[in-house]
A and B are shown apart, each in its own frame.
Chain A
Amino acid sequence: MDIVSVNNLDFSYQKGSPILRQLSLDVPENSIYGFLGRNGAGKSTTIRTLLGLLAPQAGTIHLFDEVLDRLNRGVLRRIGALIEAPSLYPNLSAKDHLRLACRYQQVEETRIPQVLDQVGLLHAQNKLSKHYSTGMKQRLGLAMALLHEPDLLILDEPTNGLDPQGISDIRKLLQQLQQEGKTILLSSHLLSEIEKMATHVGIIRDGALIFEGDQGALRNWKAEQQQLVVRTSAPGQAATLFPASQIIAKEQDLLRLSGVSPQEVPELIRKLVAAGVDIYEIAFQQSDLEQLFIELNQQEA
């Protein structure tokens, strides 16, 4: 079952300058969905439409199989959200913020110490938020989103401003929440972070989704895209031994080939040796998500 289902979403602030173009995405239940895109690609706008902050000009949004619109906002009760920098009142402490959120979400205040402990802010609960570091503010924002134990967490750049330890803590927390059955949709520009924790990935470019799939689909795609790099004394001569469609690049002492499976490598080596080509090095070069992300963007461009 898809917890979030977006179909053909169009959004623009001004006529003729679309921000989202026929965007469709599906977030499966109990997944960590990493939403990737460059700055200005439309990630935050998508998230804002999902939360009812912006009304799309066309398309539909289903959350938990319910249509989200201006008149049906009850479904937002099942969602916890953190959009970029959290909204914090400088005159209030962490505890006050959570008391506030308890009123809004109709949650008992006994939940406050639990959630503060969960994000590691128990020791600073009485400190005013204006004295918090960026990372602490981010944690408090996360605590407010988690307070009512939502089924779906929507987080826009949740690790912004966190140090490596903080990022690792948040990653562990999100993974733990997923194990508890929650669904998490998070956008991030830290692609390595998405790669480490996301079960599903969506990549947005210029307001349209250009890739969506689980880690398996991503791995297949990456396998298809992996290159065999052959360092040789005569790349020109070596290139004549393979079909032109397989050759990606021919450099000074390098030959880059695509569409070669690991099983085909011994035969390839025999062919090169038989032709009298010296082989200095042979290796697969796999794109990481960052590389993949750039490649996808380049392909679309």
Chain B
Amino acid sequence: MSNTTRRHSLPLFRSEIIKLKRSPVWYLLALCTLLTATGVFMGHLLDAHNVVKLNIDPWERYFDATLAIFNLFIVVPYTVLLVSALIFIEQRANAWKYLYTLPYRGGQFYITKWLTMVFLYLCSIAILMCGVVLSAYLLNTFRPEYEFNYYQPDVRYLLSEMRHFFLASLGLISWQYWLSLRFKNILVPLGIGVFGFVLGIIMSVTGQKLALYLPYSLPMIVRDFDMFRNEYIQESAIPGLSNVEMHSLVIALFFLLLGYWQEQRRQVS
């Protein structure tokens, strides 16, 4: 890569952010975090007599409920929709023929858009974390018996759990992104995403070994919240990473490199 092209990577990322102005991506992001936080909030509000346990830190339980909802119902459809929405922005504008006449290599656009997706995913995780903590305090005003005010939220625990989700989602982001660029009609990769989501749930629920290799089930099984026990999950050769996270990283890297290689050779007709 020449010095000139390398120098341009940051402006490319800034351009991606400008494109998001008034785009549905922000609604999607808000919806993802709102749905999760509201689901947990409502569950705790309406079912307080079953959930409240005196003298027990409510935060960990609240966080686990949030993460369970997030990993089962939200993370996969959200990722599929987020990737599709970002690709749709370019497809609707028929922007490739403009972008590829600029003095950049096709692979640079590919990597920048991938980074934008990861950035947005991180943003949604950060917003979700804030939303969960705030919703717990709000819940406390309606149900003081939870005693959220008497305990400190263990944000480090929440961060650590989110790190696992993030790593387990990278494979899905890369795969879905690569897939979305292969079809002109965005409904095709979206349909595959929905099918993958259903397949992911089945694989996860039934504890199949195949779930360890399916990008759609990796975020669902990466943490065990008494839902999906998979006997094949174990520590990888890298300390602190499970084989689920390793598989996700390998998938992410593979499709990132494959996409980069293909975009470098892309013909825009």
Tell me the A residues contacting B by CB distance below 8 Å.
13, 48, 51-55, 70, 73-77, 79, 81, 83, 85-92, 96, 99-100, 103-106, 128, 144
Does B49 belong to the interface (CB within 8 Å)? no
Contact between chains at A96 and B94 (CB < 8 Å):
no
Contact between chains at A53 and B103 (CB < 8 Å):
no
Contact between chains at A92 and B103 (CB < 8 Å):
no
Contact between chains at A92 and B97 (CB < 8 Å):
no
Given contacts A51-B100, A76-B101, 17 further A-B contacts (CB under 8 A): A53-B100, A54-B268, A55-B267, A73-B105, A79-B101, A81-B101, A83-B101, A85-B94, A87-B95, A87-B97, A89-B19, A89-B95, A91-B23, A92-B18, A99-B18, A100-B18, A144-B98
Contact between chains at A74 and B2 (CB < 8 Å):
yes
> How many interface residues does chain B have, given as a range?
20 to 34
Does B228 belong to the interface (CB within 8 Å)? no
Does B234 belong to the interface (CB within 8 Å)? no
From the candidates B11, B21, B96, B265, name the one contacting A104 in the complex (CB within 8 A). Answer: B11
From the candidates B14, B99, B103, name the one contacting A75 in the complex (CB within 8 A). Answer: B103
Query: How far is B92's CA from A90's CA once the two chains are assembled, in angstroms?
Result: 8
From the candidates B21, B101, B105, name the one contacting A53 in the complex (CB within 8 A). Answer: B101
Contact between chains at A83 and B97 (CB < 8 Å):
yes
Binary flags per residue of B255-267, CB closer than 8 Å to A gives 1, else 0: 0000000001101
- Complex interface: chain B residues within 8 A of A100 (CB): 15, 18-19
Query: How far is B265's CA from A105's CA once the two chains are assembled, in angstroms?
Result: 22
Smallest CB–CB gap between B269 and chain A, Å? 7
Q: Contacts A79-B101, A90-B93, A104-B12 given: A73-B5 contact, CB under 8 Å?
A: yes
Binary flags per residue of B94-134, CB closer than 8 Å to A gives 1, else 0: 11111111111100000000000000000000000000000
Does B181 belong to the interface (CB within 8 Å)? no
Query: How far is B102's CA from A53's CA once the two chains are assembled, in angstroms?
Result: 10
Query: How far is B89's CA from A96's CA once the two chains are assembled, in angstroms?
Result: 14
Query: Total contacts A to B, CB within 8 angstroms?
Result: 88
Contact between chains at A86 and B98 (CB < 8 Å):
yes
Query: How far is B89's CA from A83's CA once the two chains are assembled, in angstroms?
Result: 19
From the candidates B11, B89, B96, B101, name the one contacting A89 in the complex (CB within 8 A). Answer: B89
Contact between chains at B101 and A103 (CB < 8 Å):
no
From the candidates B2, B8, B21, name the one contacting A106 in the complex (CB within 8 A). Answer: B8
Q: Contacts A48-B269, A104-B11, A106-B11 given: A73-B104 contact, CB under 8 Å?
A: yes
Query: How far is B268's CA from A73's CA once the two chains are assembled, in angstroms?
Result: 15
Tell me the B residues contacting A by CB distance below 8 Å.
2, 4-5, 8, 11-12, 14-15, 18-19, 21-23, 89, 92-105, 264-265, 267-269
- Complex interface: chain A residues within 8 A of B11 (CB): 103-104, 106
Query: How far is B103's CA from A216's CA once the two chains are assembled, in angstroms?
Result: 35
Smallest CB–CB gap between B8 and chain A, Å? 7
Query: How far is B265's CA from A55's CA once the two chains are assembled, in angstroms?
Result: 9
Query: How far is B265's CA from A89's CA once the two chains are assembled, in angstroms?
Result: 25
Query: How far is B264's CA from A86's CA once the two chains are assembled, in angstroms?
Result: 23
Contact between chains at A74 and B4 (CB < 8 Å):
yes
Smallest CB–CB gap between B52 and chain A, Å? 46
Q: Which A residue sits closest to B268, measured CB to CB?
A: A53
The 8 closest A-B pairs by CB, nearest first: A87-B98, A53-B268, A76-B103, A77-B103, A91-B22, A103-B15, A103-B11, A87-B95
Smallest CB–CB gap between A210 and chain B, Å? 24
Query: How far is B22's CA from A91's CA once the two chains are assembled, in angstroms?
Result: 6
Query: How far is B100's CA from A55's CA once the two chains are assembled, in angstroms?
Result: 12
Query: How far is B92's CA from A85's CA once the two chains are assembled, in angstroms?
Result: 13
Query: How far is B101's CA from A92's CA once the two chains are assembled, in angstroms?
Result: 20
Contact between chains at A89 and B5 (CB < 8 Å):
no
Smallest CB–CB gap between A112 and chain B, Å? 13
Contact between chains at B19 and A52 (CB < 8 Å):
no
Contact between chains at A89 and B93 (CB < 8 Å):
yes
Smallest CB–CB gap between B31 and chain A, Å? 17
Query: How far is B89's CA from A89's CA once the two chains are assembled, in angstroms?
Result: 7
- Complex interface: chain A residues within 8 A of B96 (CB): 87
- Complex interface: chain A residues within 8 A of B93 (CB): 87-90
From the candidates B5, B94, B269, name the one contacting A87 in the complex (CB within 8 A). Answer: B94
Query: How far is B147's CA from A6's CA once the two chains are assembled, in angstroms?
Result: 77
- Complex interface: chain B residues within 8 A of A87 (CB): 93-99
From the candidates A53, A81, A90, name the one contacting B267 in the complex (CB within 8 A). Answer: A53
Smallest CB–CB gap between B154 and chain A, Å? 40
Smallest CB–CB gap between A215 and chain B, Å? 29
- Complex interface: chain B residues within 8 A of A53 (CB): 97, 100-101, 267-269
Q: Contacts A87-B97, A103-B12 given: A73-B269 contact, CB under 8 Å?
A: no
Contact between chains at B269 and A92 (CB < 8 Å):
no
- Complex interface: chain B residues within 8 A of A79 (CB): 101
Q: Which A residue sits closest to B89, measured CB to CB?
A: A89
- Complex interface: chain B residues within 8 A of A91 (CB): 21-23, 89
Q: Offer 21 A-B interface pairs, CB within 8 angstroms, sorted by A.
A: A48-B97, A52-B101, A53-B268, A70-B105, A73-B104, A74-B103, A75-B103, A76-B103, A81-B101, A89-B89, A89-B95, A90-B93, A91-B21, A92-B18, A100-B18, A100-B19, A103-B12, A104-B102, A104-B104, A106-B11, A128-B22
Q: Which B residue sits closest to A73, measured CB to CB?
A: B103
Contact between chains at A70 and B265 (CB < 8 Å):
yes
